[in-house]
Structure formats: C-alpha cells, structure tokens
Amino acid sequence: VIVISASAYAQDAGKRNSIGIQLNPYMDSQLFDGSFFKPVFAGRYGYALNNHLSFGPEISGYFVIRDQVQSDLNISNLNVGGFLRYSLMPASRIRPFFELSPYYTFYHYRSKAIQTQEGTGLEYSDSWFSGYLSPGITLYSKNQKFSLDLMYKFSNKDFINGNKSVFTYRLNFNF
C-alpha cells in the first residue's frame, strides 16, 4: 500500500491540532492485472486534550473502478465519523497506541450492463454504523515533526481487502 499522508497527533502543549490526508491505491492482484483500480482515501482533523488523548472527525473510504474502457461499474464506500486515540509513552520516539474510530458507512454499487433476473442493470445502496479498533505504534523522527503510524485495524465489517482486519500505515506531519 502506498500512502501519501499529512497528519499530526499533538504531543505537547504547542502541538494540539492535527490535519491528515491519506490517498493510496489498494494493492492487490486486480490492480496488477489491470482489471480494477481501488483508491483508498482518508481525511481527518484532530485535537489533543493532553499528551495521551486525541480525537476528531474523520472521513474515509474507497472507490472501485473497473479498468476497462466500456465498463460502467461504479462502487463507492464512504465512512463519516470520528476517532479517539490513546497514546502510551508520550516522551518516547516509539509510542504504542490504541485507536477507536466509530463511523457511519454509505455504500453504493451501480452497473447498467449487468444482467439480472429482473433485466439489465443493477443499482444497490446501503448504509450502516460500524467502526474499527486499532492497536499500533507510532515511530517519531528526532524533531518529532514527522512520524509513521503502523497499525492493525479490526472491524465488525469487511475492509476493502474482504476481511474484518487489515494492516495499514500512515505518514504524519506533526505541527
């Protein structure tokens, strides 16, 4: 997974606000064989109450785009919610954390070319409340302006990989 992210988790009194952006293609066999392109995205704002606890709103999700010229298949998954993070050892450059992210998911699937028993075309929409719990570690640069989150997310719903858990990482800019 390639991640382009600018995010911050405040760790001292001068670094209370954070803004994060994540954009990466989901790397699977369908990406490499050219059948599907699945961009994953996230954006968040965070506020640190203290050295251990931060929270804020987050929007995330993915799209599934078929890599064929004549394909009209469109799949989207949008999560709107927030996050709450508890960081351990705030003075260390390696900081374990636990993150909880409750969100509401909006899912949409559409294709005019699919043949069903009802005829041609299929459109489906759904929404549900879900979220994830994620243990992980954050690795900080010496000046603490940059950090890397390594985390494993667990959810009651499937992620883009088709499983209820996924490893992910995020590059952060701390201010």
Q: Write the Ramachandran bin of 63: left for phi over 0, alpha for psi from -120 to 50, otherwise beta.
A: beta
Q: Write the Ramachandran bin of 69: left for phi over 0, alpha for psi from -120 to 50, otherwise beta.
A: alpha
Q: How many CB atoms lie within 10 A of CB 124?
A: 10
Look at the pTM and tell me if it is higher than 0.75.
Answer: yes
Q: How many CB atoms lie within 10 A of CB 62?
A: 19
Each residue's pLDDT tens digit in the chain (175 positions)? 444 444 444 444 456 887 777 888 887 776 667 777 889 898 888 888 999 999 999 999 999 887 666 667 889 999 999 999 999 998 899 999 999 999 999 999 988 777 677 777 788 999 999 999 999 998 988 887 777 888 999 999 998 888 999 888 887 777 7
